[in-house]
Structure 1
Amino acid sequence: MRTVPFLLFPALIILAGCSDDQGTGESAPEPVDPLVAGLVFPDDPGQTYAAVCAVCHGPKGEGNRQLLAPSIAGLPAWFIELQLSQFREGHRGAHPDDLHGRQMRQVALLLDEAATHAVALQIEAMEKIPTVWTGEKPAPPLVRARRIYANQCMSCHRFNGTGERVFRSAPLIGLPDWYLAGQLKKYRAGWRGTQPADHYGAKMVAVSSRLSDQDIEEMAAYLAALAAGDDPRPEMD
C-alpha cells in the first residue's frame, strides 16, 4: 500500500486555499498542487477518502469543529456529489473571505466525476451522526423557529429535514448545529448563493436575509429538535 504523507496534506490545502485572484471575484479554477493531486487513488475510494477527506472530516466522517469541518457521515451520495460539483464550478468557495470554502474548493478540484462518485458512496455508507444542540447555553425556545421552518424551509427541505434531491435542498438532520448556523450566516453575508448561475443558492440568500443572529441560533437549535423527531407541520400557515 502506498504511504500517504498525512501531515503534509493540510498544509498544502491551506496554502492553496489562501491563493487569491487579486480581488477580481472571478471563479476560474485555481491551480492544484501536484503533490496533493498524488493523494487521489482512482481504484481505491477508501484510500482516497482517508488521504484527502479524513484529514479534516475524520476517519468515520465525524467532523472536527476546531477545523470547522462538519460531520458528513451518512449524508446521501447525491448531496456529496452536488456540493463537490458546486465547489469545482465556483458556486461555493469563490468568495475571497471564505477561507474554509476556498480550501474545500481545492479538494474538489482534485476529484474528477468518477472519483467524486466513489468517495460519495463511501461517505453515504458511514453511520450517520444526528444533529444535536451543542451550544454553551441551554437550547433557546423553539416555538418561533418551528414556525419559521414550517413556512420558509419545509417546502424544500421537507417536514423531516431529509432534504430533496429534485430541489437540490440539503439534508439538514445529519449536519452539526454550528455548521448549519454558519452556512446561514454565509448566505446572509453573500459568501454563498450569489454566483450568477447558482439559482438554488439565491433562494437561500433570500431566506437568510430575513434572519437575525437570534433567529439563526434558534433555527440551529430547532434543527436538532427536528433530528430528534419534532414535527413542524402543525405550524404551517
Structure 2
Amino acid sequence: MNTCKSLLAFVMTAIIGGTVMHGADPVAAVPPVIAATKATDGRVIFETVCAQCHGTAGEGKPELKSPSIAGMPSWYVNTQFANLREGRRGHDAADPQSFMMAAIAKALEPEQIKAVVAHVEQMPMKVPVGKDREMANTNPQEGMRLFQERCMECHRYNASGEMAFGSPPLIGRQGWYLEEQLKKFKSGKRGAVKNDVNGAKMVQMTTLFIEDEQMLRDVVAYIMTLNPESKESPFESAGQGAH
C-alpha cells in the first residue's frame, strides 16, 4: 500500500512537473514529455497532455501500449474518466498504463476533461492496419461463434458499441490492445472493483466463457475483421450514429 501511494505521488509530481511514464516498468521506462496545462480548449489539452502517449491523431502507440482513442464516443470516454478518477480503474500499480491514466485524470479539472472528451469524439476513427490488426495463429471463424453468442448483444453485430449497455466500440482499437484488456478482465486487474457494473459484466464473461488464450485471441481476430478496409467511418457506412 505504501509503495502504491509513493508511486502515485511520484506520478502526480511528474505530471505537474512536466513528465509522466508509461510501459511495462513505470519506474525504469523512458517517459514521454507531458506538460502540465491550464488550457481549456480541448484540442490544446489533447496536444499538450494526451498526444504524447496516444499520438497526434489519437492513433495510439504500441511501444507505450496506449490504444487508439480517436472517435471514441463521449459517453464512454466520460465514463472511463470517472472510473479513473474514482478508483474503479487504474488503482493497481501492476497495471501501469491504467495507473498512469488515473493520475492524469485526477490532475485534470472537470471542465478540461469535458473539453478534451468532446475533441476526442470529433477525431476521425483510425482503422487498425498491419501489426495493429494482424492476429497470427488464430481462427476468426471460431472467434465469430463466441462473438455472436456472447459479445454481439452488447457490442452490436458490427462491434460499433451500444450506449444503452455501456459497451464501447471495439472497431478502431488495435488487436493487441483488445487482447490485453480481455486478459485484464479475466485476471481481475480490470472490472473487479465494487460499483464498476459494466466492468463486472466483462469479468463474468471472460471468466465463464473464454476458456483459454486461444479462444481469447480467436474472438479478437474476428473483431479485427469487422473493421472497415477504407478510412470510411463504419458508423456512416452502416447509417448509424456514435450514440
**Which TM-score tier does this pair reach, normalised by the shorter chain?**
0.7 to 0.9
Q: In the aligned structure 2, how far is the partner of 1:168 from the partner of 1:44? A: 27
8 Å CA contact 1:88–1:105 kept in 2: the answer is yes
**Alpha carbons of structure 1 residues 58 and 164: separation in structure 2 relative to 1, 3 Å:** same
Partner of 1:32: 12
Alpha-carbon distance, 1:137 to partner: 6.1
Instruction: For 1:92 and 1:29, locate their aligned partners in 2 and report how far apart those are by CA, in whole Å.
Output: 17
1:157-187 Cα deviation digits (max 9, x unpaired): 1111111112111110021111000000000
Distance 2:82 2:183 in 1: 22
SS of residue in 2 equivalent to 1:216:
helix
Match of 1:56 in 2: 53
Separation in 1 of the partners of 2:122 and 2:74?
9
The answer to whether 1:120 aligns with 2:117 is: yes
- In structure 2, the partner of 1:6 is none
1:220 counterpart residue number: 220
- Please report the TM-score for the alignment, with normalisation by the length of structure 2: 0.77
Residues 24-68 of structure 1, C-alpha deviation per residue, up to 9 Å, x if partnerless?
A: xxxx99983343597233432212111110010011111100000
Maintained 8 Å contact 1:30/1:106: no
Aligned twin of 1:166: 164
User: How many correspondences in the alignment?
Assistant: 207
Give the structure 1 partner of residue 201 of structure 2.
203
Structure 1: tracts of 5 or more residues without a match: 1-17, 23-27, 230-237
Mark the CA change 1:137 to 1:75 in structure 2 (over 3 Å): closer, same or farther: closer
For the aligned residue pairs, the C-alpha RMSD in angstroms reads: 2.6
Separation in structure 1 between the aligned mates of residue 143 and residue 136 of structure 2, nearest angstrom = 15
Give the number of the structure with larger relative contact order, counting CA–CA contacts within 8 Å between residues 6 or more apart: 1
Give distance in 1, aligned partners of 2:10 and 2:110. 18
**Residue 133 of structure 1 contacts residue 221 of structure 1 at CA under 8 Å; is this kept in 2?**
no
Mapped to 1, the partners of 2:45 and 2:180 lie a distance apart of 27
How far the C-alpha of 1:115 sits from its partner, in A, is 1.2
Give the 3-state SS of the residue equivalent to 2:159 in structure 1. Answer: coil
Letter in 2 for 1:48: I
Identity between Structure 1 and Structure 2 (%):
33
Please give the secondary structure, in 1, of the residue aligned with 2:158.
coil
1:184/1:216 contact within 8 Å kept: yes
Judged with a 3 Å threshold, the aligned counterparts in structure 2 of structure 1 residues 166 and 19 are, in CA distance, closer, same or farther, namely: farther
Q: Within 2, Cα distance between the matches of 1:174 and 1:76?
A: 12
**Residue correspondence of structure 1 range 108-187 to structure 2 within 5 A:** 108-132=105-129, 134=131, 138=136, 140-187=138-185
- The 1:140–1:31 alpha-carbon spacing in structure 2 relative to 1, beyond 3 Å, is closer
Partner SS, residue 20 of structure 1: helix
Q: 1:105 aligns with which of 102, 107, 132?
A: 102
Aligned pair partner of 1:67 in 55, 64, 67? 64
